Amino acid sequence: MNAVTPAALLEPASVSLRSSEGLGWDGFAGTLLGIRPGTYRVPAMAHHRVTVHVGAPVRTNCVCDGRRYSGIQAHGDANVIPAGLPGMWTDDADCRILRIAITDTFVRSIGEQVGAPSDITLRLQWRDARVHHLAAALGAELEAEDTSDALYAESLCTALVVRLLNSSRDVAAGAANSARTLAPRVAARVIDYIEAHLHQRLMLAELAAQAGLSVPHFNVLFRATLGVPVHRYVVQRRVERAKALLLEGRCSASQIALEVGFAHQSHMTQWMQRLLGVGPRDIARAGKAAAGSVDRLAV
């Protein structure tokens, strides 16, 4: 999929506060923008855009594709702007927006998998709880000091596109009707693949291919089978493998982080503390203590 460069999405009236550049997101990008008061034109862009208002409400006027809106833009209000459409916006005060740009290639890939038209329709001042939740989770990734695996962001954006294509309910219903969980042999094949490639960057498409399913359908059935989303399962397995290696005491924490698939040691530390309640140093120290006890018993 084509990469999206957040810096290319800026207009003169905005300042980039956070960006997904460097996070490994593919086919989509996120930018937290600070918008100054005034009237400004957003040119037509090659990517579809979802902009979600963040923070205090402001009075706004907008014109896009012949449609007009005037009113209060509150926290969570979203605009969905299809590729190729310019617009004119006026804000009466400083505001912040989270802009998610998505390539048409990414959208069409999801549309083909769920059997839905890949047309993104214009929506102004759209309030949708699921879109707000997904956008907020992507925004949290931009602001986190240690972000999650890019697989997590891909899962969020996939769900967002499904929602935009008005097919999330159809996907969930289709998944429930055709199968409630992954077949045991299919689940085993996916798990074996994850174990064999844990040290590499894993993509939803390759995991879904192991099950012979579309990405949205695979997400539903994997969670129903394993009890956690795909990205969470992968992180848990990386943490478990890292713990075992730390207890062995043969490699440094930084080496182990890379060996089990984390981007860096601090990323591993973050997830260990979140899932285990302790960091790598505590685990390594426990491993040395246990080895010392065994040595004393052997004397």
pLDDT in the model for residue 2: 53
Instruction: Report the chain's C-alpha Rg in angstroms.
Output: 22
Q: pLDDT tens digits for 58-86? A: 888 889 998 888 888 888 889 999 999 99
pLDDT tens sequence across 179-215: 588 888 899 899 999 999 999 989 999 999 999 999 9
Dihedrals phi, psi of 276, to nearest 5 degrees: -110, -20
Residue 132: exposed, middle, or buried by beta-carbon count in 10 A (0-12, 13-18, 19+)?
A: middle
Q: What is the per-residue pLDDT for 14?
A: 73
Sorted by where each begins, the domain ranges of the chain are: 6-163, 167-227, 233-298
Strand partners, 84: none
Mean pLDDT of the chain: 84
Q: 81: how many CB neighbours lie within 10 A of its CB? A: 25
Percentage of the chain modeled with pLDDT above 90: 39
Domains 6-163 and 233-298 share a fold: no
> For 260-275, what is each residue's pLDDT tens digit?
998 888 889 988 998 8
Confidence class for position 168, pLDDT limits 50, 70, 90 = very low
Q: Give me the architecture of the 6-163 domain, per CATH.
A: Sandwich (2.60)
Confidence (pLDDT) at 4: 58
Each residue's pLDDT tens digit, 9-50: 445 467 888 899 988 899 999 999 998 898 888 889 999 999
pLDDT reported for residue 93 = 87
Query: For residue 200, what are its two tokens?
Result: 């590499």
Rounded Cα distance, 249 and 243, in Å: 10
Q: What is the pLDDT of residue 293?
A: 53
CATH H superfamily, domain 233-298: Homeodomain-like (1.10.10.60)
pLDDT above 60: residue 169: no
Q: What's the order of all strands across the beta sheet hosting 58-64?
A: 38-42, 87-91, 58-64, 67-73
CA–CA dist 96, 62 (Å, integer): 16
Residues 231-252 have a mean pLDDT of 90
Pick the more confident residue, 277 or 287: 277
